[in-house]
């Protein structure tokens, strides 16, 4: 079986769990004899291509005629919008970029024969235009490649998946790693919502990373439940810790938050819980590893609470810095307000770190040996942190059984389920 897969990022160039999930899934599919052609807007040359063929969209020469181009854009005209959507930037940077940018579009009357589009590979001010270009190039790729099914990951690639389906007539599977309701709560960006809904409607099958997300897809997007299937994520396995036990630079125990510092991830609840713990227990330091639009607000709040000497902000971590951070941690907390799944707790458990996760997360559906709290219950979160820090037997219990539990959550198993979904869509 051969799959044409569209993603927006691939390790080591990632901004969160999406790229990590794509990497794990493609490796798992390779073990089940599924050949994957994985397309990204921009490849950097240092990606692991052992389990797939990686195609950079900016290397594709567009070869459609003016007439074909016009017909194509008419079929996907719903994404022709003037939008300056920029994920993960704080309001000040957003306003500065918007004031400096001039909205641009693609003239469908212009001949583009022999032309190549450039992509930044980032979430910048031209994001929506890059989504448009990517979807156009997808049609060119679909016309040249041989494949059985199309697989598109998250909303940025849904238009590409749709254009590939319209060009080839092959079935489309879309993979919902998050929805606009997870990212923005009830203040949804209508443009993104419309793209997500169109992708779900056009798909032959919809894969969601949790039953929590499946319910959102059915109730908030009106998608037929019969074509929505949950496949839980997994964790990438390594033979031992390649970094060994990192040396702490502080004598205290370490409690870690690792993720985007945005509304969705609940960083403000982590800060408030840290303040409560520090009033009862001083032998601890808290780490917020990540970046996002709430970062400056969190720094100010930590200063207001007077706990700056016990709180560290590392910025975004990637590559080997992530397992190194886990190896220095005594407790990992994921207080997400809405988390479709959440791979990081699995990575922490694999690193022998007990975890505290919000009940409002997809990973809570499958984990038994993690402490589960409501994201808004700061007292319960503080109690859980305090208990794991003070009672070593409790911590050891979750480390031992958590390690055993996470060993069964393999990408190979998730990939088998995905392959069965492919078969059902063909």
If one counts the domains in the chain, the total is: 2
The pTM (predicted TM-score) of the whole model is 0.82
Percent of the chain residues past pLDDT 90, beyond the cut:
62
Degrees to nearest 5, angle at CA 220 with 217 and 221: 60
Asked whether residue 337 is domain-assigned, the answer is: yes
- For the chain, the distance separating the N- and C-terminal CA atoms, rounded to the nearest angstrom, is 11
Distance (Å, whole) CA 160 – CA 175? 13
Q: Are residues 34 and 93 in the same domain?
A: yes
113's enclosing H/E stretch is none
Identify the CATH number of the domain in which residue 18 sits.
3.40.50.2000
Q: Tell me if 198 sits within 8 A of 223, measured CB to CB.
A: no
pLDDT in tens, 220-242: 999 999 999 999 999 875 544 44
Q: Are residues 51 and 153 in the same domain?
A: yes
Q: What is the pLDDT of residue 136?
A: 83
pLDDT confidence tier of residue 175, bands split at 50, 70 and 90? very high
pLDDT in tens, 26-54: 999 999 999 999 999 888 888 888 889 99
Q: Are residues 177 and 260 in the same domain?
A: no
Asked whether residue 176 is domain-assigned, the answer is: yes
Asked whether residue 242 is domain-assigned, the answer is: no
Q: Are residues 209 and 280 in the same domain?
A: no
pLDDT confidence tier of residue 217, bands split at 50, 70 and 90? very high
Q: Are residues 280 and 194 in the same domain?
A: no
Domain with 268 in it: 253-406
Q: Are residues 230 and 278 in the same domain?
A: no
Q: Are residues 63 and 192 in the same domain?
A: yes
Asked whether residue 152 is domain-assigned, the answer is: yes
Asked whether residue 240 is domain-assigned, the answer is: no
Asked whether residue 246 is domain-assigned, the answer is: no
Q: Are residues 259 and 224 in the same domain?
A: no
Phi, psi of 311 (to 5 degrees): -135, 135
Q: Are residues 118 and 9 in the same domain?
A: yes
Q: Are residues 271 and 151 in the same domain?
A: no
């Amino acid at each position: 079986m051969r799959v044409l897969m569209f993603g927006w990022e691939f390790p080591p160039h990632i901004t969160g769990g999406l790229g990590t999930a794509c990497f794990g899934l493609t490796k798992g599919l390779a073990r089940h004899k599924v050949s994957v052609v994985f397309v990204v807007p921009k490849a950097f040359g240092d990606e692991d291509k052992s389990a797939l063929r990686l195609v950079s969209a900016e290397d594709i020469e567009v070869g459609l005629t003016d007439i074909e181009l016009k017909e194509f854009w008419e079929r996907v005209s719903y994404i022709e919008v003037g939008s300056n959507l920029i994920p993960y930037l704080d309001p000040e940077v957003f306003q500065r970029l918007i004031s400096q940018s001039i909205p641009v579009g693609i003239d469908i009357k212009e001949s583009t024969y022999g032309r190549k589009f450039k992509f930044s590979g980032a979430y910048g001010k031209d994001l929506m235009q890059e989504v448009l270009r990517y979807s156009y190039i997808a049609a060119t790729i679909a016309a040249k490649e041989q494949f059985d099914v199309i697989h598109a990951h998250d909303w940025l690639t849904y238009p590409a998946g749709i254009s590939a389906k319209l060009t080839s007539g092959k079935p489309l599977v879309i993979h919902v790693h998050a929805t606009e309701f997870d990212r923005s709560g009830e203040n949804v960006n209508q443009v993104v919502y419309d793209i997500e809904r169109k992708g779900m409607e056009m798909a032959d099958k919809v894969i969601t990373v949790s039953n929590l997300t499946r319910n959102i897809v059915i109730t908030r997007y009106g998608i037929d439940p019969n074509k929505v299937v949950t496949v839980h994520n997994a964790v990438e396995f390594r033979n031992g810790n390649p970094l060994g036990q990192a040396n702490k630079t502080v004598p205290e125990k370490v409690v870690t938050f690792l993720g985007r510092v945005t509304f969705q991830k609940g960083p403000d609840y982590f800060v408030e819980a840290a303040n409560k713990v520090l009033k009862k227990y001083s032998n601890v330091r808290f780490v917020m590893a990540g970046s996002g639009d709430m970062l400056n607000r969190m720094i100010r709040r930590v200063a207001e609470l007077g706990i700056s000497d016990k709180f560290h902000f590392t910025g975004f971590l990637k590559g080997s810095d992530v397992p190194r951070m886990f190896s220095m941690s005594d407790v990992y907390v994921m207080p997400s307000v809405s988390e479709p799944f959440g791979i990081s707790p699995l990575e922490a458990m694999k690193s022998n770190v007990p975890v505290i996760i919000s009940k409002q997360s997809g990973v809570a559906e499958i984990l038994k040996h993690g402490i589960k709290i409501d994201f808004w219950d700061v007292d319960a979160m503080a109690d859980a942190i305090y208990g794991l820090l003070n009672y070593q037997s409790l911590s050891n219990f979750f480390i031992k059984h958590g390690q055993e539990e996470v060993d069964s959550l393999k990408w190979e198993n998730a990939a088998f389920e995905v392959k069965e979904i492919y078969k059902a869509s063909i």
